[in-house]
Structure 1
């Protein structure tokens, strides 16, 4: 299986900045009672929230519920959103808290059975039978080997596409810490890619 090159930030050569401006404007309009803006806001960010929750969540059955919970929390808190950060960073912070709260709630209850790890949640959340799907799963396998904090920083900046400053806000840490975590994650993944390619070269 050929494993794709590590993804680069979506900030380069795309319209992420314009999208963030639009979603932030929609959030502010939704705060004022614009129902159309609410729909635009949810549609624009649903995929990012779903993907991020899937990366964090250990229970694939809970991903949809947690994504929905995120939006319910966000819509209930719109009156406090002032647009100081992008609506996407604000929403992903809420998603992170929703997942953490779900862990706390689960920890307080007796476990009836083991649940799959976070990789299973991501695999189930992705469209299947599409070109590159198997390669994407291979990359997720590599991501599983990273420490949680480095994987979180890598996912936020390289897969979800948040600027480093907003990823730092979501992760509640300094920007320099996010940059360091991403750099170390990329170095580790490159080493793992090299190790993965060696058996294929030897076989050839």
Structure 2
């Protein structure tokens, strides 16, 4: 956790919060924005929520006790703010995102196209799952959170996280099976 801004647990009044905020934004800004976008499907709302998250972190950073990772703490704030937004909004429709990331250094153009198609299909399938299953998959595979961190973030037991993860994977296999038969 030393790589995870360990010093936040030891902040006392008078510490330069502006400097800490810059550290948080530099290290976790993309994660917060991406998670807000994942939950709301709106880049403009993700922008606003990201600002709100870091403002809340700025105001509450002396209260951070280190009971979870800094990333988990910020993603919890993000989730709470996004769900609050969604509860107040009339938007309930799920849309697909076209943000694709390739990990290869310099793939052939054809490979890039195939990877994008595959990513779109996979992401589109994930987006058809109920929110409780989508959240578990994204927090696990994209953000790399541990089961206990996911459970705390979602406010459920570790057993519930395991169950949702199992059901989400099973549903993904069922939804992807017809596509694999066509190949």
Q: Same fold (TM over 0.5)?
A: yes
Q: CA 1:59 to 1:90, structure 2 compared with 1: closer, same or farther past 3 Å?
A: same
Q: Residue 173 of structure 1 aligns to a residue in which SS?
A: coil
What corresponds to 2:49 in structure 1? Answer: 66
What corresponds to 1:99 in structure 2? Answer: 82
- 2:68 equivalent to 1:85: yes
- 2:4 equivalent to 1:27: no
TM, length-normalised to structure 2 = 0.80
Deviations along 1:26-57, one digit per CA (max 9) or x if unpaired, are: 53467632544332221111121122111111
Q: Residue 156 of structure 2 aligns to a residue in which SS?
A: coil
How many aligned positions are there? 172
Q: Residue 119 of structure 1 is aligned with which of 95, 98, 101?
A: 95
1:12-51 alignment, distance < 5 Å: 20-25=1-6, 27-28=8-9, 32-33=15-16, 35-51=18-34
What corresponds to 2:172 in structure 1? Answer: 189
Gaps of 5+ in 1: 1-19, 108-114
What corresponds to 1:178 in structure 2? Answer: 161
Q: CA 1:126 to 1:26, structure 2 compared with 1: closer, same or farther past 3 Å?
A: farther
Deviation at 1:134, TM superposition (A): 3.4
C-alpha contact 2:17 2:58 (8 A) present in aligned 1: no
Q: Residue 144 of structure 2 aligns to a residue in which SS?
A: coil
Q: Residue 118 of structure 2 is aligned with which of 126, 135, 146?
A: 135
Q: CA 1:134 to 1:49, structure 2 compared with 1: closer, same or farther past 3 Å?
A: farther
C-alpha contact 2:75 2:153 (8 A) present in aligned 1: yes
CA RMSD of superposed structures (Å):
2.6
Q: Residue 55 of structure 1 aligns to a residue in which SS?
A: helix
Q: Residue 75 of structure 2 aligns to a residue in which SS?
A: helix
C-alpha contact 1:164 1:178 (8 A) present in aligned 2: yes
Deviations along 1:59-102, one digit per CA (max 9) or x if unpaired, are: 34311111221111111111211111111111111001111221
